[in-house]
Amino acid sequence: MALSKSKISGTAQHFLECGFEDCERNSEFYCNSCHHRMCKPCRDQHLKIPENKNHEVVLYQLRRRQLPVMKCKIHPTKEIDIYCKDCNISLCSKCSTMQGHQRHCFIDLETIYTEKFELYQKELSKIHNYFVPTSQDLQKEIREDATEVKQIMDSIRTSMKAEAESLKNMVDTVVSENMEELNQIEQSLLEKLKSQEKTFDDYIAYLSDLIKEFQSYLSSTELTNFTTKLPDNLEIKFIPETTKPVTPEFSSAQYSKNDVAKLLGKVIKSDRKERIKRVKPMEIPTPASSMISTSEQSKRDKHVKSDKKQTMSLSASVSKVREFNVPGVDRVLHVSLDQQDRLWISDRYGNLVQTDLKGNVIQKIKTSDGRGYHTVTQDRGLIFTDQDKKVINRITQDNNITEFITTGDWAPLSIHSSHINGDLLVGMRYGYGEGKVTRYNKTGKELQNIRENKGQNLYSDPRYITENINGDICTSDFNKDYYKMAVVVVNKSGQHRFSYTGQDSLFSPFGICTDVLGHILVCDIYSNTVHLLDQDGQFLFLLLTPQRGIPYPCSVCVDDENNLYVGQQYTNTLTVYKYLQ
């Protein structure tokens, strides 16, 4: 069977043509022995030829790469096609028989060439498809961050100038007021001195008149003037009193540079740690060996499909799957996964509704309280708390409500059934400002109380509670009066691991859950967002915001298929998202 020469086409081909003459079928197979591509009929014909019966024909994707022609420098008529594993060098067949390579281990160089070729091609593909575009995206983000930094700095500069201008205006006002007061004091003192000056003008005039009178007496020759006109008790008016004006003093301000900085404000470097930007994980395809035959590859494909476990990672974006309303509740304050196709949902009025994934009500229970107070156990039983009566109830198979655990003086707020061992984790509150988490086993026996960390109360109002894949106990502590608003996380022994207080000054954690990767998802009802944290409390990003998500998210739950259910605070709407891939 003759082989065709290489064809050059002016139009783009969607597949490789068979390498045999006059055959334009798709090239599905490849002969590693003679290095020709072929279709299935041509393969069958090729293998029927007696001298080709030992040829190795594989799927085209699993072909061995043809070794480039390279002549041996020692034996110019021979091609290099053997690899000496002991000496780590490439040889020709004649070199392998020479002294120095006797009893050495030799490998077909074409095999090594194919392996290296595929390895380099794979790495090149990674660079082109992942590393380069991801780096370009991060570089773009860096440029955007630089623009944002400049904008923020310009805004701060504007604020600083405005503060300085405001202070200057206040200084001018104060100086003007001081000058006005000084002018008034000056005028008052001058008027008083002027009055004193007039008094002395009058007194001096009086003395002048008195001088003239006495001089007239002294110049008179008539004695009668001395005896009749001058009184015996002559007395000159005493000099009027005067006062020394008291001038005001100026008390100069004693201030430092720090005092001015307090007035103007100062630039403070943020103490928040820089977070490493999340890089989208690279999708790693299932490796396939290039050295196995067609039948062996088929068997391996079947085995891989049956044995493969899906590896989950964060998606580049959050996608909305569906949305439905839940009759019987006015809002979705808490949601618990029941079976794969059922949910339990509660509102603030004690309405507890079981629904399917389309919002069809299966059953409804009236209780005394709502919020984060119900959970589904490993055997699919429902358990919920009663804050007023301070008991934990469970529903039997015949739908009767029975008291399961009494909690004494502590009001049970939140409850979660462990997926690890079936224990019940209950968040409780005593009065206002004092909280704890208690662990019970499946039979209701108290096992553990978690209250303090280094002498300080860990909890004040543990409103929602859940458990992570590593056994950590995660609570949403929500207490407006005591301002202890945080996600508080302890390990299974009750030792405090970390507390997350949000990204802004105000953080109001509500519904909380974890996923298969150990992420912590928590609703912030102040900013109407859903925060995504890693297992160690590091903030990753806002999973949902009012701009890209639903309004007023307050409850969250992740099912076995990694669907995220989000309930709204002011409506009975439940929305389902995909954020893992």
Distance CA 261, CA 259 (A): 5
More confident residue, 535 or 10: 535
Residue whose C-alpha is closest to residue 461's, from 508, 531, 392: 508
Least confident of 194-208, 275-289, 530-544: 275-289
Residue 202 CA: distances (Å) to CA of 193, 195, 198, 240? 14, 11, 6, 10
pLDDT attached to residue 298? 41
Tell me which H or E stretch contains 189. Answer: helix 132-219
Q: What is the pLDDT of residues 146-167, one digit of tens each?
A: 988 898 888 888 888 888 888 8
**Mean of pLDDT over the chain:** 82
Mean pLDDT for 298-310 is 40
| Tokens linked to 72 | 């041996």
> Which residue has 């039948």 as its token pair?
295
Q: What is the pLDDT of residues 25-76, one digit of tens each?
A: 888 898 988 888 889 999 998 999 988 888 989 888 778 877 788 899 889 9
What is the band of 302 on the pLDDT scale with cuts at 50, 70, 90?
A: very low
Least confident of 279-293, 356-370, 448-462, 532-546: 279-293
Residue 439 · residue 425 · CB < 8 Å = yes
Residue 481 · residue 434 · CB < 8 Å = no
pTM for the complete prediction?
0.50
* Total Cβ atoms within 10 A of residue 146: 10
Distance CA 45, CA 486 (A): 74
Q: Is the pLDDT of residue 470 over 50?
A: yes
| Tokens linked to 448 | 């553990």
Q: Is the pLDDT of residue 3 over 80?
A: no
Tell me which H or E stretch contains 460. Answer: none
> Which residue has 């301000």 as its token pair?
253
pLDDT attached to residue 10? 37
Q: What is the pLDDT of residues 325-364, one digit of tens each?
A: 999 998 999 999 886 678 999 988 888 999 988 888 988 8
Mean pLDDT for 113-126 is 83
Q: Is the pLDDT of residue 305 over 70?
A: no
Q: What is the pLDDT of residues 396-444, one digit of tens each?
A: 767 778 899 999 999 999 999 998 888 999 999 988 778 999 999 988 9
Percent of the chain at pLDDT exceeding 90: 31
Q: Is the pLDDT of residue 370 over 80?
A: no
Q: Parallel, antiparallel, or unpaired: how do β-strands 57-59 and 29-31 relate?
A: antiparallel
Interior/surface letters 387-410, b for 16+ CB within 10 angstroms, e for the rest: beebbbbbbeeeeeeeebbebeeb
Work out the end-to-end distance of the chain between its first and last CA atoms, rounded to an integer number of angstroms.
50
* Total Cβ atoms within 10 A of residue 233: 4
Mean pLDDT for 225-245 is 75
pLDDT attached to residue 191? 93
Least confident of 111-115, 133-137, 165-169: 111-115
Q: Is the pLDDT of residue 223 over 80?
A: no
Q: How many Cα neighbours within 13 Å face the side chain of 74?
A: 10
Least confident of 182-186, 194-198, 303-307, 336-340: 303-307
Residue whose C-alpha is closest to residue 435's, from 476, 392, 471, 386: 476
Count of residues making up the chain = 581
Q: Is the pLDDT of residue 539 over 80?
A: yes
